[in-house]
Amino acid sequence: MHSMTGFGRAAEECDQAFIEVEIRSVNNRFLKVSSRVPSELGPYESRIEERVRRKVRRGTVNVLVRYRDREAPPVLLNEALLESYRTRLAHLQQSWGLGGDLTLDWLVTLPGVLDVEERSLDETHWERVAQLLDRALGSLLEHRQAEGARLRTEFVSGRTAIAALIEEVATRAPKIITDYRQKLIQRVEEFLRNHGVGLDESTVIREVAIFADRSDINEELARLRSHLTHLDDLLDRSGAVGRELDFLLQEMLREANTVGSKANDAELARRVVQMKAEIEKLKEQGLNIE
């Protein structure tokens, strides 16, 4: 079980440049990879994203690559454009009678006069970046796995609590029928005594049977137990289980809601509320599972 939250970093300083790769990931229903790379690595951006997709199945993954040359790149001066600026501005000064000096330190700030020579990196440089990317990915996956192990512990704890509540509900359910029968008989006998009529046991039995059928939660409890078995399987399974886990917890919540709607007993209803709270906590934690 892996979390979708993690961080990885790798850096290297060689003779020619300093290279650093940072990878951050957060939860997402699908896989979304985005990267920020310097212009020198622009041609290799698709390779970076492809490499990430081989290792990560779900989540929003942001890759940041920093590349700094030890030697400053050459500065390019567009002398023709500079002369054009100077000539045109001098003409406007004369035509409009404007004052002021057209100094070099101001002219070189105009768009396009100065530029930095763009460098393209060869396959050798890409291999260095790729190695650092793999190291950062390894660190990211270790982080996600460690966080996943922590989440698994919380899931096991929640699963234990839910299982205990299911059995408490199952134990309480038959008593509800017995209590209902006793209360019904008491109410009917009291009513009939006031009207001088005898008790028809068959009527009581029929009413209790209708109540028992309407309040029967055995099927829901059986499905909840089955879902817990499925949950155990997911907790022990490798790979991306987050989507299946989310669906399973949604089904468990639906069954718990059905049990709650059939609960004609305050004590049982309280346990159902506790069960739903445990399931909701697992659903929230499950949002971070890959």
33 SS3 class: strand
Q: Is residue 204 domain-resident?
A: yes
What is the model's pLDDT at position 43?
A: 86
* pTM listed for this prediction: 0.69
What is the model's pLDDT at position 275?
A: 95
Residue recorded with tokens 């509540």: 165
Q: Is 254 found in the same domain as 227?
A: yes
What is the model's pLDDT at position 57?
A: 92
For residue 37, the cross-strand partners are none
Which domain range does residue 198 map to?
Answer: 146-286
At 31-57, the pLDDT tens digits run 999 999 988 788 889 999 999 999 999
Q: Is 187 found in the same domain as 232?
A: yes
d(C-alpha 262, C-alpha 215), whole Å: 5
Query: Can you give the CATH number for the domain in which 63 is found?
Result: 3.30.230
d(C-alpha 118, C-alpha 144), whole Å: 37
Nearest Cα neighbor of 56 from 157, 163, 141 is 141
Mean local confidence (pLDDT), 240-259 = 93
Model confidence at 26, pLDDT cuts 50, 70, 90, reads very high
Q: Is residue 45 domain-resident?
A: yes
pLDDT exceeds 90 at position 186: no
Number of structural domains found in the chain: 3
Nearest Cα neighbor of 259 from 213, 220, 226 is 220
Nearest Cα neighbor of 64 from 48, 47, 40, 46 is 48
Is the pLDDT higher at 99 or at 197? 99
